[in-house]
Structure 1
Amino acid sequence: MLNKKSFHLSTGTFCLVIACCATLLLLSLLVYMTLVSWPVWFSPGPWGFLTGTDWNPLAAPPQLGIGTMILSTLWTALGAVILATPIGLCCAIFLAEYAPSWLAQLLRPVLNVLTGIPSVVYGFLGAAVLVKYFEITFNMASGESLFCASLVLTVMVLPYIVSASESALRAIPLKYRQTSLALGVSKPYFTLRVLIPLARNGLLGALILAFGRASGETMAVLMLAGNTMVLPSSWFSKGEPLSALIALELGTSEVGSLHYQSLFAAGLVLLLFVLSINLFFTWFRRDRRNEVGKP
């Protein structure tokens, strides 16, 4: 029979092996995508590929520029975070400081259910409700737009903002709450002037996490953004984010062709972008843990 020390040692070893396997899987994916897309980084060059606005891999010579798709991705992801931030932060503050325990225990599972709904369901509801609403209300030929995609992404990233923000607020030591009560500070003043500044790094990390989630979403933006390769001039223009581009064209591209390689290059850009956002989130969480408890 294993003693307690041996059990903890074996558990730690098992967790280390799982973490190493996950890291190797990610590195393998990065290496594979880099190797497949290697010719693209020499043909138009990294700068031309990232900033070019013309996309026609079958032309002669091929036009390989994903700047339009990158801008569409930023429009949809940033728009979703901007719309979800006030709602998510207010909901997190309510759950952490104001909600009765029975109500908080009821609302948290509901928010968690939102994360488990398939993205195609969100996209279908957006196409059936939002797109039709914009077409009828504003007499538009087509209600698809980057704004419509951002509205659906707002609902999709809201649980991530609420969960991470509530964790950041609850991580503030109890002594600050006790001190504010002893001084007779009102609850709204304590929340706005003490609690939120102390949890600012964790709250910012929640927004970064939501932005990364919105940037990598595929089905919802594929069904709602309009999928036009025109440089979007506003939030209400049509566009084609990177994830939608890959989903639409990968199945029709010839394996080993420049078109196929350029799609892998676009996927590599999207993967590195989301990975960098998650690394920023990890850094902010670590920085917040170091600052919590300091006067």
Structure 2
Amino acid sequence: MSQSSQSQQSQQSQQVRAPAVAGLFYPAEPARLRADVEAMLAAARRADDGGTAPAALIVPHAGYVYSGPTAALAWARAGARRGQVRRVVMLGPAHRVGVRALALPGCRAMDTPLGPVEVEVPAQIEELAAAGLVVTRPDVHAAEHSLEVQLPFLTAVLPGASVVPLAVGWVAPDRAAEAIRPFLGRPDTLVVVSSDLSHYLPLAEARRVDEATIERILALRADIDHEEACGATGVNALLLAAGERGLVPRLLGSATSADTIGSPDRVVGYAAVAFYEE
């Protein structure tokens, strides 16, 4: 690494990424945000059947008014690993800035209205960076919401856990799975893939498409496309890795934006899925 690259990386490592969608996708005011997150988690826990702790989750990432209750179903289940998990490896799609890799934000923490979450770059991810699969791209993360919206839930459910935030660009699912395999099933690590389902279809069609997508996820079929899930690459990567490890997926809940305040003419679909050791 050149001296200038080392200097740039050192400067980036001291930065804290500011929230980009606080006040848009979720409340910016800390007390209100905490109350909303805790209320959604409480409702999710009431619906929880007390299943075992998951090794991985698929969680939606829209505004909380739309997908928050569905996201809470997944994060509430992660609460069974509170005090055990010290890092969350998180993959979410890069919606705004293209990149032909998995992108790290190049910061030491990602801030939220509930406080900062430490960013960790484990040795396994450093190895993937040396191979060119992982890059440091603050611009990819600057306005990206797919990972950010998960952080208030993470701080509420797994306080003190660090995050390995990987924005997924144009890479093949089997390559993205290389960032999941080293951590899947580790007692100190939770893997989270952030993804919504179909986008902007009429309600009846959206439900039909989403039901078919969920059926394939539960069958560990890693053939989801980006019309069916905006985070398809991360979802497929997790399905590949989960199949190799023998994990069992379980649907925790699904919904659409029309279930809250969205129009039934153009809806977005959501699902919460947990993956368990047999």
Q: TM-score per shorter chain, which class?
A: under 0.3
Q: TM-score if structure 1 supplies the norm length? A: 0.25
**Greater C-alpha Rg:** 1
Q: TM-score if structure 2 supplies the norm length? A: 0.26
Query: Is the helix fraction higher in 1 or 2?
Result: 1
